[in-house]
Amino acid sequence: MFSGYGVVLNIKTNTLLVKDGAEVNASTFGEGAGGDITVNAQDIQIIGKRKDGLPGGIFTTSGENPTGDGNPTRDGNLTVEENPIGDGGDLDINANILKVENGAQISVQGWTSTGTAGNLIINADSIRLNDKAQLNASTRSNKVDLVRIGQATIEITSKDLIMRRGSKILTNAEGDNVIGGNIDINTDILAAFENSDITANSEDSRGGNVEIKTQGIFGIQFRLEGTLDTSDITATGASEDESGDVEIINPDIDLNSGLVNLPSIPVETKVAQGCTAGSSIAQSRFEIIGRGGLPTLPTDALSADAVQVDLVSIKPEINKPLNTNVSTKPKTSTPKKIVEATGWIRNKKGEIFFVSDASNQKQVDNWYKNNHCRG
């Protein structure tokens, strides 16, 4: 346990582990102001309670919590002697990873009506609150502090904030005319499950304001009153009219950026009509009908009786449509009959010809007519 009164306690380390009820504490129980605490670390883990059930953690409080349960008292009656008490200090935490688990707390509370609570500022890439963990800035003081702007506020900046199993972020106020503290959260992702709440309630006055800037929020939503089995965001006051403001802000994304407004009046598109039949100009289209033309598949061979169309040049007045009737029927021709050869002859020049009937052909000689082969 570290303590400081009216001083600044700076902690700089790679890893800070506060475990099993241990404390980093700069509270005040007298007229003097409590100390401020600044923690700079790569990894901060605050885990567990003391054997008597009181939470461990990091504290800058004004006065003493007689119950240690995250509220001024279980029954609403403060049991400590209310002597003149100084103000609690501020708590500033900077880390890559912050974990608070198993009933541990980070707290800037004020337990009496005469001493204000400090402010809690957390900057961490990743924040995990699990199993009744708390970030707490509750207060019972209605004292106006002309030096400090506000009291019992929580400011959180992170890439992701995950709350589970009854964890809380709270700036609740108890006592006569005590306004709830404000909560400002700026995170890429906020997720809260299993009855984990964010509250800025006031028992007898106006609730605090809650502002959340996030790209995505999951498992938790604003409700007029808290529930026992869901994750809630509340800022209730002594009456409905005294409820605080809750604002959830998504980033301003212009869905129309990069888009071009299309004209509302159709624009005539000039396209050269390049499909022709013979010397006539036709409307552009592509057809494969019956025999001829291109094969159905690119890998098929061209047909022997394919229709051939000569290349033509596009005339300058191509953009002027003509009322020329174009026939789409392909030209076909009857193929010649194929006759099978049954023999061959040799002419006077000695050239060999295959013929269908060699008996009717005049032969120059018959040297090939050797009907007997002997070996």
Break the chain into its structural domains and give their ranges.
Answer: 8-76+84-249, 273-284+305-325, 337-375
DSSP β-ladder status, 276-277 and 280-281:
antiparallel
- pLDDT number for residue 286: 61
Check if the beta carbon of residue 52 is closer than 8 Å to that of residue 24: no
CB-count exposure of residue 248 (10 Å: 0-12, 13-18, 19+): middle
Amino acid letter, 65: N
| Entry pTM | 0.63
- pLDDT number for residue 345: 76
- The residues with which 36 forms a beta bridge, in sequence order, are 8
Cβ neighbours around 98 below 10 Å, total: 27
Largest pairwise CA distance in the chain: 147
10: Cα within 13 Å, side-chain hemisphere: 1
- pLDDT number for residue 175: 82
What the block records as the tokens of 321 is: 């449509």
Per-residue pLDDT of the chain (375 residues; tens, 9 = 90+): 445 555 789 999 999 999 999 999 887 776 667 789 999 999 999 999 988 888 999 998 877 654 444 444 333 333 344 455 677 889 999 999 999 999 999 999 877 666 778 899 999 999 999 999 999 998 887 765 544 456 789 999 999 999 999 999 999 988 888 888 999 999 999 999 999 999 999 988 899 999 999 999 999 999 999 999 999 999 999 998 999 999 999 876 555 555 666 666 655 555 454 445 555 555 566 665 555 556 666 666 666 665 555 565 655 555 555 554 545 555 556 666 677 777 777 777 777 777 776 566 555 554 444 454 444
What the block records as the tokens of 298 is: 């690119």
- pLDDT number for residue 280: 52
- pLDDT number for residue 68: 45
